[in-house]
Copies of this chain bind each other. A is one copy, B any other.
């Protein structure tokens, strides 16, 4: 499995708008086992995204899905920057669920 833990910074005051776009693109991504979007309660502009994919290839392929490309293009103007980005190797747990086909 392939995992990502990232902290993203929204343009001031636009976090909720950016989160809504991030969540729209989430359904039906082949190979996506978990994708959680969270607010940082200690930082009004920060968003945490934690992802688990069956493989790195599935994650890369997702970036070419029309729904994801559309979300990226709408979300990009609302992103002020990325604070951290960690690649992980998930080994198990609870809540790892194959996504239904779109």
A residues bordering B, Cβ < 8 Å? Answer: 1, 3, 5, 19, 23, 26-27, 29, 32-42, 48, 50, 52, 86-97, 99
Contact = CB atoms under 8 A, between A and B. Distances in A.
A38 B94 contact: no
A91 B5 CA distance: 16
A38 B3 contact: yes
A62 B69 CA distance: 39
Nearest to A19: B91
B86 A35 contact: no
Contacts of A19: 91-92
B39 A88 contact: yes
Nearest to A27: B94
